Structure 1
Amino acid sequence: MALGGNPVFRGKNFRSAVTAAPSAPPSPYAPPMTAEQLDELYRAPSAGPAETGRITYDDVIVKTLVCLGAVVLGAAVTLAVPQPIALGLTLVGALGGFVLGLVNTFKREPSPALVLAYAALEGLFLGGLTLLLDRVAPGIGLQAVLGTFAVAGATLFLYRSGKVRATPGLAKFFLIAVVGYLAFSVVNLFLMLFGVVQNPWGLRGITVFGIPLGVAIGLLAVVLAAISLIFDFNSIEQAVKAGAPRRVAWTAAFGLTVTLVWLYTEILRILAIVNSND
């Protein structure tokens, strides 16, 4: 099974749930069924995955929408309060979201409460970040939301149509590219913290051939997030086919939320850099 770059889907807990053996057959010592019970069982419709406690696509969709609703709710809180409080909530959301992200990734069993708490904290962070960058370009948040859903929708369409697949070659490219992206981000952060680069965007604000470097880096990050979504979809598809336990739907929803938050952040930053260089 080709698991993607998202650490949520590459974790031991998700993989073990997908590859777990099916439930044991009924005991041969169970009392025999009557003729009426056999006839009723024969006439009843076949049990689907939901009735047998197995994950379904509907489970993943519903739980992902619930997580995104928590993100929107958290963002609405940050946007509604006075700015000094909003800045504090943004910091709480960033730190809390990071901690709960790690906890949910490595937790033995998925916890709906912790997954939703993570989504709400990320909402606080994204709301504050949007509020801050909205000064550069009013309405930038709505543009980023539309861009996020456009990229995610196009990626899902391409995956479902079979035009793009989760292949080992794509996984290798993703790994190399994301390591390079993370290295650039860490170096850029330290250069900004120590005042080596005065531009508010750090190295991202440097113009190369008339184009801000941050736009090129951001577009690469959007492509990487889209590739991550491809592997996320593949992991979910494999989980459904393998008849993984229904609780895994929360893990899948959490993984998709992580990727979509990353995608939104990158699109938001691209728009801010473009508008700040107008």
Structure 2
Amino acid sequence: MKTSNPVLARLGQAAERERAAGYAPAGPYGQPGHGQPYPTAAGYPAAPPTVAPMTIDDVVVKTVTLLGVTGLSAAAAWVLVPDALLGITMIGSAIVGLVLGLIISFSRMANPALIVGYAVIEGVFVGLVSKFFQVVAGYQGIVLQAVVATFGVFFLMAGLYKLKVIRATPKFTRGLIAAMAGVFAVMMINLVLALFGVDTGLRSGGPIAIIFSLICIVVASLSFVLSFHEVEEGVRLGLPQRYSWVAAFGILVSLIWLYIEILRLLSFFQGDD
């Protein structure tokens, strides 16, 4: 089984090793798969494998679970964190979330506890950012608008991918990864300059800020295509069920990024009223 994605290729090789040790994807109606027979001893049939292959339903369930955890954590942070600690808690949760996200992304660890922990931390960050825009900055209704827009974009991208209007071709994947790396680098540079009092205009609400936010929204939206492709390929490669957590994590990251950027863009327009 071949794939153009090096991460999926590595995970596929791991799945092959598991099958060689006695794991085989289930066939129709839960019957054993035909790619690798189960080991037998003394002529007796072996017990069914304990490791099941990943399915799209697994990813959907895990994604909904992570969204639920993120939402509950966001609501708790909104209610429990006092305004006096809003800034420092927001910054702290952003840093911790970034570190956890990088660990999960680069290690590709299928660790449910770590991924759920990321959802909790990001929920705190999302809740406090939302509270800042709606309560502190006074942009009434902005959170609901951003939530509706975020899920609207998500379902639109899901529909386009399902209809094969947009596909994760090797050229598309390379270009989008380069764009994501470029956007992330610009964000980091802008953050460092802001710490030294330099205003680049990327987050100040002017024309440059609006254009940059639109670019971020487009890139974040297109990142769903990579997530959908990862799920599709993971199912095709017969990856173990635990990797559905990794796929759900990728979708959650894109949703949070898209939500924050839409929230910021809406604040630019409301600020002009």
Structure with higher Rg: it is: 1
TM-score by length of 1: 0.80
| 1:1-278 paired onto structure 2 within 5 Å | 1-3=3-5, 11=7, 15-19=9-13, 20-21=15-16, 22=19, 23=23, 24-27=36-39, 29-32=41-44, 53-81=52-80, 82-107=82-107, 109-134=109-134, 135-197=137-199, 202-205=201-204, 207=206, 212-278=207-273
**Cα RMSD after superposing both structures:** 2.4
TM superposition shift of 1:220? 1.2
Corresponding residue SS for 1:203: coil
Deviation track 1:152-186 (CA, whole Å, cap 9, x = no partner) reads 10000000011111112222331333333234323
1:15 and 1:263 map into 2 onto residues whose CA distance is 28
- CA distance 1:66–1:262, shift in 2 (3 Å): same
Corresponding residue SS for 1:137: coil
1:205 and 1:214 map into 2 onto residues whose CA distance is 6
Indicate if the aligned counterparts of 2:210 and 2:268 stay in contact, CA closer than 8 A.
yes
Gaps of 5+ in 1: 4-9, 34-46
In structure 1, the residue matched to 2:30 is: none
Structure 1 letter corresponding to 2:98: F
2:231 and 2:161 map into 1 onto residues whose CA distance is 12
- Identity, in percent, stands at 35
1:176 and 1:108 map into 2 onto residues whose CA distance is 20
Structure 2 letter corresponding to 1:174: L
Structure 1 letter corresponding to 2:158: L
TM superposition shift of 1:99? 2.0
Indicate if the aligned counterparts of 1:78 and 1:86 stay in contact, CA closer than 8 A.
no
Indicate if the aligned counterparts of 2:202 and 2:212 stay in contact, CA closer than 8 A.
no
TM-score by length of 2: 0.82
Count of residue pairs the alignment pairs up: 248
Deviation track 1:103-144 (CA, whole Å, cap 9, x = no partner) reads 322446411111111001001001111111112411211111
1:90 and 1:107 map into 2 onto residues whose CA distance is 26
Indicate if the aligned counterparts of 2:51 and 2:240 stay in contact, CA closer than 8 A.
no
Relative contact order, CA 8 A, sep 6+: which one is greater? 1
